[in-house]
Amino acid sequence: MNVFYLHGFASSARSKKAVYLGERFASHGIALRCPDLNEPEFFSLTLTRMLDRLARDIATLDREPVVLIGSSFGAVVAIHAAARLADRIGRLVLLAPAVMFPKDADKVLGADRVAEWRRSGTLDVFHHGDGVMRPLNYAFYEDGLRYDATTAEVGQPVRVFQGVRDEAVDHRVVERWAALRPNVQLTLLEDDHQLLASLPTIWSEMTVFLDVT
């Protein structure tokens, strides 16, 4: 089984969720692939670049269907990758998927901050993976406007886990997104955006969905 974990925005392949899931897949003899989607540098990050990187990684593998596990913004990458590479990707697991990206930038950042980002060309954001502030080019936002996860055609089986106390991704938005898609099964959890307290539950249900034995 070829399984990828796609980390969230300003996160890393060494996140707590990546480590947790990597250890559990390893106990079943499965190597969890965790590409660093920040590479080669965070400043020039775009969704297009992330999708191209993932496509290259998948192209090096055998033809067995790939499983994508995406967290937050990584879930958006998974959704668009599944639409673009429908013949290579078999199943998706989405953790707190930021399906409104980047249309909700004004709400998340504030309209004034987005306007300043446009004017200056650079936005300083806290990079959780590195633990420091990092500059991000406005091209990230412009490129993101080319994509819409709410209209992407994804026909693969999808399992979604979403916290009802998530302050970054509105669970009601995710509920509406899932309700419109018969191939999507949603589990709401009493948890926040990180979903760390729910990882044992997520893993238990994920093993059934992916037929991990």
Which residue ranges make up each domain of the chain?
Answer: 2-100+151-210
* pLDDT interval class at 16 (50, 70, 90): very high
End-to-end CA distance of the chain: 11
Predicted TM-score (pTM) of the model is 0.96
Q: Which of 67, 8, 9, 77 is nearest to 33 (CA)?
A: 67
**DSSP labels for 111-174?**
HHHHHHHHHHSEEEEEETTTTEEEEEETHHHHHHTT--TTT----S-EEEEEETT-SSS-HHHH
pLDDT of residue 213: 86
* pLDDT interval class at 125 (50, 70, 90): very high
Please state which architecture CATH assigns to domain 2-100+151-210: 3-Layer(aba) Sandwich (3.40)
pLDDT of residue 102: 85
* pLDDT interval class at 193 (50, 70, 90): very high
**Coil, strand or helix at 50:** helix
Q: Which of 212, 213, 202 is nearest to 16 (CA)?
A: 202
Q: Which of 181, 165, 2, 168 is nearest to 79 (CA)?
A: 181
Spatial separation of the C-alpha atoms in residues 153 and 149, rounded to whole Å: 9
Q: How far is CA 44 from CA 54, 99, 138, 203, in A?
A: 16, 22, 9, 33
Average pLDDT over residues 144-172: 96
